[in-house]
């Protein structure tokens, strides 16, 4: 069941998606964190950040819209407030990072490079909900490469680049990340979307638009994982509407080496552990020796 992403060793292929599992402690009474392949925490920037006005979430058919806007304690705040908590756990820790400028991506990487307890950085270049940086870095190939190069230069920890779904050709971004030294890819972030209250005629989110996540986006994510997996040799963490063992296996067969459970955590925080147990028993029942054997096993 183990998976390697650069020097990051996950004992199983199931993690949680950034922003849907807090910073870890919030879920520790509900889930045995050490069962997970890794904990991926909410996005961290160099400085503390307040995020967007409310309402910041809205439920849609088979999913949700969010425009949280990446509130957080900043890199120093994270190290001070949350990192000591992980000393009692062995689970690998992936910290999701973002910046408003290329320089900020460099600075947050510099600060988070120091603590040995942080095992890997996931580079969010695809948040649809912040005005500066965010999605722009994920959809403009030149800017995208500049950010990945900047982060690569500042750390020797594994870096996992989280791709935006709203690009014409995901293979170009996947390849560019690999060429700039990424150790892995996360696919996908939420999809830019909007909902309007027809009585007030106002957008349902204070930010007007947000990111769509949950079961509604799963087929989009499976396609993007499949396309990217054909273009690169680095491992992919697949995510987007994973609620069940079957969903997770679909991503793995499409080309993912690991999966992340996101929006499902809001309805059942034990989803990731349930999926992990489900994959184990499925592999045993089908006589598949290693989860690796299923990665990219789609028959075309």
Neighbouring CB atoms inside 10 A of 252's CB total: 24
Footprint of ligand FMN on residues 256-275 (CB under 6 A)?
Answer: 262-263
By CB under 6 A, residue 124 contacts ligand FMN: yes
Which position among 6, 13, 138, 214 is part of the footprint of ligand FMN (CB under 6 A)?
A: 214
As beta bridge partners, residue 39 has 93
Which position among 13, 24, 37, 43 is part of the footprint of ligand FMN (CB under 6 A)?
A: 43
By CB under 6 A, residue 68 contacts ligand FMN: yes
Q: With contacts defined by CB under 6 A, how many residues of the chain interact with ligand FMN?
A: 24
**SS3 call for 107:** helix
**SS3 call for 267:** coil
Catalytic residues: 127
CB of 299 to ligand FMN, least distance (A): 26
By CB under 6 A, residue 252 contacts ligand FMN: no
Which position among 95, 162, 178, 238 is part of the footprint of ligand FMN (CB under 6 A)?
A: 162
By CB under 6 A, residue 207 contacts ligand FMN: no
By CB under 6 A, residue 18 contacts ligand FMN: yes
**SS3 call for 59:** strand
Residue given tokens 């992936």 in the structure block: 94
Check if the beta carbon of residue 104 is closer than 8 Å to that of residue 110.
no
Choices 18-26, 74-82, 105-113, 177-185; region in contact with ligand FMN by CB under 6 A: 18-26
| Cβ distance to ligand FMN smaller for residue 42 or 100 | 42
By CB under 6 A, residue 237 contacts ligand FMN: no
State both tokens at 279: 């994959």
| Cβ distance to ligand FMN smaller for residue 206 or 288 | 206
Angle between the 218-231 and 170-179 helix axes, to the nearest 10 degrees? 50
Which position among 52, 109, 155, 189 is part of the footprint of ligand FMN (CB under 6 A)?
A: 189
Check if the beta carbon of residue 178 is closer than 8 Å to that of residue 219.
no
DSSP 254-268: HT-SEEEE-GGGGT-
CB within 8 Å of 87: residues ≥ 6 apart: 117
By CB under 6 A, residue 100 contacts ligand FMN: no
| Cβ distance to ligand FMN smaller for residue 131 or 286 | 131
Give the sign of the dihedral formed by CA 42, CA 46, CA 52, CA 53: positive
CB of 247 to ligand FMN, least distance (A): 9
Report the alpha-carbon distance of residue 146 to residue 151 in Å, rounded.
9
Report the alpha-carbon distance of residue 157 to residue 225 in Å, rounded.
23
Residues forming contacts to ligand FMN in the complex (CB under 6 A) are 17-20, 42-43, 66, 68, 70, 96, 124, 127, 162, 189-190, 213-214, 217, 239-242, 262-263
């Amino acid at each position: 069941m183990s998976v390697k992403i650069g020097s990051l060793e996950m004992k199983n292929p199931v993690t949680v998606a950034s922003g849907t599992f807090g910073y870890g402690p919030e879920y520790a009474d509900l889930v045995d964190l050490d069962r997970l392949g890794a904990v991926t925490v909410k996005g961290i920037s160099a400085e503390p950040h307040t995020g967007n006005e409310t309402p910041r979430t809205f439920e849609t058919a088979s999913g949700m819209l969010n425009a949280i806007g990446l509130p957080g304690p900043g890199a120093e705040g994270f190290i001070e407030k949350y990192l000591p908590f992980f000393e009692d756990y062995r689970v690998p820790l992936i910290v999701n990072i973002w910046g408003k400028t290329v320089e900020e991506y460099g600075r947050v990487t510099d600060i988070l490079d120091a603590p040995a307890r942080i095992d890997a950085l996931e580079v969010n270049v695809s948040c649809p909900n912040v005005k500066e940086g965010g999605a722009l870095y994920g959809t403009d190939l030149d800017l995208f490469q500049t950010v990945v190069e900047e982060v690569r230069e500042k750390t020797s920890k594994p870096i996992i680049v989280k791709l935006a779904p709203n690009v014409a050709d995901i293979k170009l971004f996947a390849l560019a990340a690999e060429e700039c030294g990424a150790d892995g890819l996360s696919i996908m972030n939420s999809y830019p979307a909007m909902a309007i209250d027809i009585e007030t005629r106002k957008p349902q989110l204070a930010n007007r638009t947000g990111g769509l996540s949950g079961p509604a986006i799963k087929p989009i994510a499976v396609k993007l994982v499949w396309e990217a997996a054909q273009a690169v040799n680095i491992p992919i963490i697949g995510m987007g509407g994973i609620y069940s063992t079957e969903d997770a296996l679909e991503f793995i067969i499409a080309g993912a080496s690991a999966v992340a459970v996101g929006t499902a955590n809001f309805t059942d925080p034990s989803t990731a552990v349930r999926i992990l147990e489900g994959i184990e028993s499925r592999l045993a029942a089908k006589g598949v020796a290693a989860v690796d054997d299923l990665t990219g096993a789609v028959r075309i």
